Structures are given as C-alpha cells and as structure tokens.
Amino acid sequence: MASPPDSAYAGYPGQKRPRAAWHAADAALVAYMASGMSASEAGTKAGMSPRTARRKAASPEFQERLAEARAQVVEQATAQLAQAATDAVSTLKRLLTADSEMARLGAARAILDSLMRFREHTVLTARLNALEGMYGE
C-alpha cells in the first residue's frame, strides 16, 4: 500500500511527513556501493531487494552519503599510496648502489623519469593557476 502524499500527513498543519530512519541496511548499501558494487548487487548483500536498493540509491540523500563514502575510500587509498611511494623511493635509492649494473641503471632511469614527470606536473599546475587567476576562476 502506498503512503499518502506529504500534504495528507495528519501532523501539524504544513508539517511534512517525517523522514524514514537511516537503517543499518542503508549504511551497508552505501558501503557496498562505495566499494564498486551495483545497487542491485549491494542491495542483495545488504539484505534488501534489488528494486528497493535501486530506489534508495536514486534518492538525493543517499547519493550524498555515497559520494562521502567514495571520497573516504579515495582518501584512504591515497594515504596508502603515499606510504608506498616513500617505500618505493627508499628502494630506488638503495638500488643505486646495488652490485648489478642493470639494477643501478634501472633505478637511475626510474628516478629521473619520475623527477621529469613531477617537474612537468608542477609547471603545468602553475600555468593553470596563473590562467585561472587571469580569468577570475
């Protein structure tokens, strides 16, 4: 049975129907979708029908929570990559003194290549910022 529209709510005049509570299954749906599952797959895992999951996933409140969850996933992955990058640089520095000439050459190339890419990125970012400043963006 469908709910009556908000205008038919029998509360105080002009008062809208209270929002449905955010349940643990909704939070699970967000988590599963943030990890890359479709709404239907995530709904099944969260204990709801695929149709209910798709309906919930279409709501603006859900989309906002999903965007926040995905941003957290990216933030955590970025932190892990930053740590791995530090370890990778340490490894490359250590390989610069390896016995193998090929290992030393490979490490030197990797370091120089990374340095050139970083420099290019830095220059392009500065140029973009200057252009945005010129156009007030």
**Residue 87 domain-assigned (yes or no):** no
Are 55 and 27 in the same domain? yes
Range of the domain at 103: 96-137
Please give the pLDDT value at position 64. Answer: 94
> Among residues 68, 63, 32, which one has the least CA distance to residue 48?
32
Instruction: Answer yes or no: pTM beyond 0.95.
Output: no
Are 15 and 76 in the same domain? yes
Are 108 and 48 in the same domain? no
What is the residue-level pLDDT of the chain in tens, covering all 137 positions?
444 444 444 555 555 545 555 688 899 999 999 999 999 999 999 999 999 999 999 999 999 999 999 999 999 999 999 999 999 999 999 999 999 999 999 999 999 999 999 999 999 999 999 999 999 76
Displacement of CA 120 from its chain's centroid (Å):
26
Instruction: Encode burial over 98-133: b for 16+ CB neighbours within 10 A, e otherwise.
Output: eeeeeeeeebeeeeeeeeeeeeeeeeeeeeeeeeee
Are 55 and 23 in the same domain? yes
Alpha helices (runs of H) in the chain, residue ranges in sequence order: 24-34, 39-46, 50-57, 60-95, 101-134
From 80, 110, 128, the end of a domain falls on 80
Measure the CA–CA gap between 9 and 126, rounded to whole angstroms: 56
Long-range contacts of 91-99 (CB under 8 A, 24+ apart): none
Count of domains observed in the chain: 2
Are 14 and 39 in the same domain? yes
